[in-house]
Amino acid sequence: MTAPLRLPDSIVVDVALGARSYDIVIGRGTLASLGERIAALRPGARVAIVTDATVGRHHLAAAESALAASRIGSEVVTVAPGEGSKSFPVFQEVCEALIKARIERSDLVVALGGGVVGDLAGFAAATVRRGLDYVQVPTTLLAQVDSSVGGKTAIDSRHGKNLIGAFHQPILVVADTELLDTLPPREFRAGYAEVAKYGLLGDAAFFARLEADWRQVFAGGPAREQAIATSCRAKAAIVSRDERETGERALLNLGHTFGHALEAAAGFSDRLLHGEAISLGMVLAFQFSARRGVTGADTAERVAYHLAAVGLPTHLLEVPGGPPAADQMMDLIAQDKKVRRGRLTFILARGIGQAFVAPDVEADEVKGFLVEKLG
């Protein structure tokens, strides 16, 4: 095997949030610059790396040596891989480990992993000693384009996902696209659903570029970096205008109402990954928009065609074990979102790149649509 091509340049995307602004550094091999960047931002800081066992096996040594190269000492906290680690017991373990390692207010937490590690370590950083600074080193495509950016951190409640958390922005995100080479293809594909989401919600030209170039995005190289950077720019722009989701940030939930219901019905298991559920959810959101007459049926078909081309599920019959019934879907939607006087807030689309928040969709109309789809 030949050594991977090392591009000298990385792409830097700025998340503009006043005093809490930070850079997202994207590129192949950027992990090697982690120590230098941390030393520049927080001279003299010590570091605790939080990771999961799988990511640790692949990438911990590289992270540690990147820190050591700048003479930064690091402690490591390793959790089990999987959503189960976004729990109170594991959160407690991580907090106690950070305190035991004497991570002080002037020190740093580094979240090395996918969205699970990022959400967990970010929430621990938000609370230990009333708030520690942290750096995201996302290692899944989903984490590089979505969860590491924007400062939402959380663990799960027995009543639902992400119900216990805080807004806490990182001081830096280092997205080394080379780390994605060890990611299972199914995980990469699931993360791609969120990449396509940015085109579908607000950037028709980006979606058209993905339709043309998705093979290169999957293969790696500059098209992958560009797609990740465009995704991060889109999220950063929305977050900087609406950090705490009082309005526009809700657009990022395109496909997520239907998607979360499908995920919940599958028990948040490997049966249906988050991105796979979001692929189905986005197709349903466009089909529902078409049924309401705000966009054409051909638009919904174009969305489904592209997502199916990359190998994502786009039809409810593809849900392993079969899709839930319409009634169950409605119950799950009602649990996920507040239904106010029989009305729901939905993200709909007037076309590709033209998503909007529809604040008063009749629950009965959604149910009618699902009955048509599911029988």
Ligand X SMILES: NC(=O)c1ccc[n+]([C@@H]2O[C@H](COP(=O)([O-])OP(=O)(O)OC[C@H]3O[C@@H](n4cnc5c(N)ncnc54)[C@H](O)[C@@H]3O)[C@@H](O)[C@H]2O)c1
Examine residue 74 and tell whether it contacts ligand X (CB under 6 A): no
Closest separation between CB of residue 260 and ligand X, Å?
Answer: 10
The question of whether 162 is a catalytic residue gets the answer: no
Q: Which stretch binds ligand X (CB under 6 A): 79-87, 202-210, 256-264, 326-334?
A: 79-87
Q: Considering the rule CB under 6 A, would residue 224 count as an interface residue with ligand X?
A: no
Query: How many positions of this chain bind ligand X (CB under 6 A)?
Result: 29
In three-state secondary structure terms, 135 is strand
Q: Please tell me whether residue 65 binds ligand X under the rule CB under 6 A.
A: no
Q: Which stretch binds ligand X (CB under 6 A): 65-73, 90-98, 179-187, 362-370?
A: 179-187
Candidates 168, 274, 306, 373; catalytic one = 274
DSSP codes, 304-338? HHHHHHTT---SGGGSTT-PPPHHHHHHHHHHHS-
d(CA 363, CA 341): 9
Residue 368 beta carbon to ligand X: minimum distance, rounded to whole angstroms: 30
Binding mask 235-274 toward ligand X (x if CB under 6 A, else -) reads: ---------------------------------------x
Give the phi and the psi of residue 36 in degrees, each rounded to 5.
-55, -45
117 or 232: CB nearest ligand X: 117
Quick check: 105 and 129 in contact, CB under 8 A?
Answer: yes
Site for ligand X in 316-335 (CB under 6 A): none
State the binding string over 122-161 for ligand X (x if CB under 6 A, else -).
Answer: -----------------xx-xx--xx--x-x--------x
Q: 80 in helix, strand or coil?
A: coil
Is 33 near ligand X (CB under 6 A)? no
Structure tokens of 66? Answer: 């990147």
Task: Select from 27, 35, 113, 170 the one that contacts ligand X (CB under 6 A).
Answer: 113
Give the helix ranges, DSSP H, for the chain: 34-41, 53-68, 88-100, 115-127, 141-142, 185-202, 204-219, 222-241, 256-265, 274-291, 297-309, 326-336, 363-374
Q: Which of 156, 170, 162, 200 is nearest to 303 (CA)?
A: 200
Contact 117, 50 (CB under 8 A): yes
Position 179 contacts ligand X (CB under 6 A): yes
Tell me the C-alpha to C-alpha distance, in Å, between residue 312 and each of 277, 304, 305, 316: 9, 9, 10, 12
Q: Which residues bind ligand X (CB under 6 A)?
A: 52, 54-55, 58, 81-83, 86, 113-117, 119, 139-140, 142-143, 146-147, 150, 152, 161-162, 179, 182-183, 187, 274
